Structure 1
Amino acid sequence: MTFSICVRERYTDDSGADQVRFGVAVTTRLPAVGTLCPFVSEHGAVATQSLVNVDLGRRGLAYLEDGLAIGDALEALLNADKGREGRQVHGIDAERTFAFSGDDCVGWYGHDLGQNFTVAGNMLVGEAVIEETAAAYAADAHGERPLAERLIDALSAGHAVGGDKREDLPVQSAALKVATTEPTPMGEPLYNDLRVDATETPIDDLRATFEAAKRGWEDAMDRYADASEADSIDGAAEPDAEEPVERTDPDR
Structure 2
Amino acid sequence: MTFSICVRERYRDQDGTEQTRFGVAVTTRLPGVGTLCPFASENGAVATQSLVNVELGRKGVEYLDDGLAVEDALESLLNADDGSEQRQLHGVGTDGEFAFSGDECKPWYGHRVGDNYTVAGNLLTGESVIEATATAYEVTSPDDPSTDPDRPLAARLIDALEAGHVEGGDKREELPVQSAALLVRSTEQRAIDPYYDDLRVDATETPIADLRETYEQARRGFEMALERYEDDYESDELDAE
TM-score after normalising by structure 2: 0.95
In structure 1, C-alpha distance between the alignment counterparts of 2:125 and 2:174, rounded to whole Å: 13
Q: C-alpha displacement at 1:231, in angstroms?
A: 2.0
In structure 1, C-alpha distance between the alignment counterparts of 2:79 and 2:239, rounded to whole Å: 53
Structure 1 gaps, min length 5: 237-252
Q: Is residue 136 of structure 2 the alignment partner of residue 153 of structure 1?
A: no
Aligned-partner SS, 1:91: strand
Q: C-alpha displacement at 1:184, in angstroms?
A: 1.2
Q: Deviations over 1:175-199 (max 9, x none)?
A: 000000001122x211000000000
In structure 2, C-alpha distance between the alignment counterparts of 1:134 and 1:35, rounded to whole Å: 23
Distance 1:121 1:235, change over 3 A: closer
In structure 1, C-alpha distance between the alignment counterparts of 2:135 and 2:43, rounded to whole Å: 24
- Paired residue for 2:134? 134
In structure 2, C-alpha distance between the alignment counterparts of 1:156 and 1:88, rounded to whole Å: 21
- Paired residue for 2:238? 233
How many pairs does the alignment contain?
A: 235
- Paired residue for 2:16? 16
AA aligned opposite 1:90: H
- Paired residue for 1:204? 209
Q: C-alpha displacement at 1:234, in angstroms?
A: 6.2
User: Are the aligned partners of 2:43 and 2:65 in contact in 1 as well (CA < 8 Å)?
Assistant: yes
User: Are the aligned partners of 2:134 and 2:160 in contact in 1 as well (CA < 8 Å)?
Assistant: yes
Aligned-partner SS, 1:233: coil
User: Are the aligned partners of 1:226 and 1:235 in contact in 2 as well (CA < 8 Å)?
Assistant: no
Q: C-alpha displacement at 1:229, in angstroms?
A: 3.0
AA aligned opposite 1:195: R
Structure 2 gaps, min length 5: none
User: Are the aligned partners of 2:191 and 2:230 in contact in 1 as well (CA < 8 Å)?
Assistant: no
**Which of the numbers 171, 174, 179 marks the counterpart of 2:185?**
179
Q: C-alpha displacement at 1:202, in angstroms?
A: 0.2
CA RMSD, Structure 1 to Structure 2 (Å): 1.3
Q: Deviations over 1:182-226 (max 9, x none)?
A: 01122x211000000000000000000000000001101111022
Q: Deviations over 1:55-104 (max 9, x none)?
A: 11110111111111101001100000010000000000011000000000
In structure 2, C-alpha distance between the alignment counterparts of 1:79 and 1:113, rounded to whole Å: 20
Identify the range of structure 1 (172-181 vs 60-69) with the bigger mean alpha-carbon deviation: 60-69
> Share of identical aligned residues, percent?
67
- Paired residue for 2:98? 98
**Which of the numbers 169, 172, 175 marks the counterpart of 1:166?**
172
Give the structure with higher Rg (CA): 1
User: Are the aligned partners of 1:132 and 1:154 in contact in 2 as well (CA < 8 Å)?
Assistant: yes
Aligned-partner SS, 2:176: coil
- Paired residue for 1:64? 64
Q: C-alpha displacement at 1:235, in angstroms?
A: 11
AA aligned opposite 2:203: A
Q: Is residue 74 of structure 2 the alignment partner of residue 74 of structure 1?
A: yes
Q: C-alpha displacement at 1:2, in angstroms?
A: 1.4
Q: Deviations over 1:30-53 (max 9, x none)?
A: 000000000000000000000000
Identify the range of structure 1 (12-21 vs 34-43) with the bigger mean alpha-carbon deviation: 12-21
User: Are the aligned partners of 1:227 and 1:235 in contact in 2 as well (CA < 8 Å)?
Assistant: no
In structure 2, C-alpha distance between the alignment counterparts of 1:70 and 1:54, rounded to whole Å: 17
Distance 1:66 1:203, change over 3 A: same
